[in-house]
Amino acid sequence: MTAAAWLAAVYRLRAGAADFGSVMLNIFWSGYNLMGIVIALRVALQKPMLRKLERVAIHEDVEVTVRYKRKYITARMADLSGRGTLLSLSGTYKIPKGRIVRIQIGRAEIPAEVIRSDGSRLALQFHRMTPENMKKIMEIFCRNMEAYYKMEKSQDYYVEHISPETERILLTVSSDTPPDFLPPAF
């Protein structure tokens, strides 16, 4: 409909029945509104979450010990949700699906069921989580959460300071956090 209105405006402009400035202003605003609609649709149509709980990739080095049949296996946490985790094991181990293992994260020991195992990776579902264990899991989860959309541009902060000699000095601080000081003029 907008494109048809643009064509009609160009036709009327060529026929001399419309003002050039008015047509350009209307084309600009309809283009601006079109960009707003596209942005709103991109946000509304983000990829669906098919899981019951959010799963985050673990970017920090979280060392986990897996206890299975009197063996202690060191592993690294690859991802985490409120219900389970994916571990990268330090070696290759055959742990059958459905087995109950115990994982130790710091001082927290959590029983978990093996959901999937391919030898070097182990997918686990937590069992009987105590509030203390859930708190430990959520601490790791929250430290590794990221926004869906990343802003590549950093915020620039400008602080204007007037010196005693009445000269204006513009101090520019370019960082992601505001300056932790205020000039004496404030």
Q: Is residue 117 part of a domain?
A: yes
| pLDDT given at position 16 | 82
Question: Domain check: are 114 and 86 in the same one?
Answer: yes
Please classify residue 37 by burial: count the beta carbons closer than 10 Å to its beta carbon, then call 0-12 exposed, 13-18 middle and 19+ buried: exposed
Domain presence at residue 182: no
Cβ(96)–Cβ(152) under 8 Å?
A: no
- Provide the pLDDT for residue 179: 54
Provide the domain count of the chain. 2
Tokens standing for 38? 């596209």
Residue 152 lies in a domain: no
pLDDT tens digits, residue range 115-127? 998 888 999 999 8
Please tell me whether residues 127 and 68 are part of one structural domain: yes
Max Cα-Cα span within the chain: 90
pLDDT at position 186: 44
Give the pLDDT confidence score for residue 44 in this predicted structure.
83
Examine the domain organization and report whether 37 and 62 are in the same domain: no
pLDDT at site 124: 93
148-185 tens-digit pLDDT: 656 666 666 555 555 566 565 545 555 555 555 545 54
82/39 same-domain check: no
pLDDT less than 70: residues of the chain: 48-51, 147-186
Q: Are residues 123 and 62 in the same domain?
A: yes
> Virtual CA dihedral for 151, 157, 158, 161, nearest 10 degrees?
180
Q: Is residue 149 part of a domain?
A: no
Inside any domain, residue 61: yes
Residues 60 and 139 in one domain: yes
Task: Quote the domain boundaries for residue 25.
Answer: 2-44
Q: Angle CA(114)–CA(52)–CA(62) in degrees, nearest 5?
A: 50
Asked if 39 and 61 sit in the same domain, the reply is no
> In terms of domains, do 34 and 72 share one?
no
178 in any annotated domain: no
pLDDT at residue 125 in the model:
93
Residue 23 neighbours by CB distance under 10 Å = 16
Q: Is the pTM of this model over 0.75?
A: no
**Domain-embedded: residue 161:** no
Q: What is the CATH number of the domain that holds 80?
A: 2.40.10.220
Q: What angle do CA 109, 132, 110 make, to 5 degrees?
A: 20
pLDDT value of residue 20: 82
Same domain, 14 and 64: no
Do residues 82 and 126 both lie within one domain?
yes
Together in a domain, 70 and 126: yes
Does residue 90 sit within a domain?
yes
Residue 139 and residue 61 share a domain: yes
CA atoms of 185 and 160, how far apart (whole Å)? 9
Best CA proximity match to 23, nearest among 41, 35, 11: 11
Q: How far apart are CA 66 and CA 22, in angstroms?
A: 71
In sequence order, which residues have a C-beta less than 8 Å from that of residue 112 and are 6 or more positions away? 84, 85, 100, 101, 102, 103, 124, 125, 126, 127
- The predicted structure's pLDDT at residue 173: 56
